[in-house]
């Protein structure tokens, strides 16, 4: 799946597309996360800021020069979900940095989350994992772009998710997460 496939089903993305590649420090992200991220996600991030689709689905992306905040968010969410895992609420999924752990890449305003499951050394083969607010967990083998495109064009069921994003979704800038208190 390519970025052009997402832009085809969500043409409202195009006004938000950067004319040049956004200067993301991918080496810093890989070093601090301890893993490389999937190519389709990197392609998206190279051209788009954090966005929401249909005012529901939020796509988390690092910002140029503030990659550390993205990494901090990944580890913070992993810690929160690890505590839920201890209570048996995560269907036996583990969270980054654990082997096979999940890395969050998005969510919805209704409490659903989207992850990659680190399944082997090739991030381009990692499946997407969905945790719905209704405590329903499921996987999609296609990864980041394939899941989003499928949710938009209807080829992927919205199991436990809101019906959005739907066909030809609206697109807007997502607000950055508030700073954390240390």
113-160 residue pLDDT tens: 999 999 999 999 999 999 999 878 999 999 999 999 999 999 999 999
Using 50, 70 and 90 to split pLDDT, how confident is the model at 176? low
- The answer to whether residue 178 is domain-embedded is no
d(CA 80, CA 94): 11
The token duo for 104 is 């969050």
- The answer to whether residue 182 is domain-embedded is no
pLDDT at 181 over 80: no
- DSSP-assigned letter for residue 108: E
- The answer to whether residue 181 is domain-embedded is no
- The answer to whether residue 152 is domain-embedded is yes
Question: What is the residue range of 75's domain?
Answer: 3-18+25-173
The domain tally of the chain equals: 1
Q: What angle do CA 32, 145, 101 make, to 5 degrees?
A: 40
């Amino acid at each position: 799946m390519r970025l052009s496939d997402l832009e085809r089903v969500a043409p409202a993305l195009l006004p938000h597309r950067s004319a040049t590649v956004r200067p993301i420090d991918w080496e810093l992200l890989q070093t601090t996360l301890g893993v490389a991220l999937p190519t389709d996600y990197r392609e998206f991030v190279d051209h788009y800021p954090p966005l929401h689709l249909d005012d529901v689905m939020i796509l988390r992306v690092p910002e140029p020069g503030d990659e550390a905040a993205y990494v901090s968010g990944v580890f913070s969410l992993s810690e929160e979900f690890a505590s839920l895992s201890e209570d048996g609420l995560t269907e036996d999924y583990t969270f980054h940095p654990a082997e096979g752990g999940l890395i969050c890449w998005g969510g919805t305003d209704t409490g659903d989350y989207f992850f990659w499951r680190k399944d082997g050394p090739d991030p381009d083969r990692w499946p997407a994992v969905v945790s719905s607010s209704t405590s329903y967990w499921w996987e999609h083998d296609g990864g980041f772009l394939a899941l989003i495109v499928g949710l938009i064009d209807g080829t992927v069921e919205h199991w436990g998710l809101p019906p959005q994003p739907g066909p030809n979704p609206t697109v807007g800038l997502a607000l950055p997460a508030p700073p954390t208190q240390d």
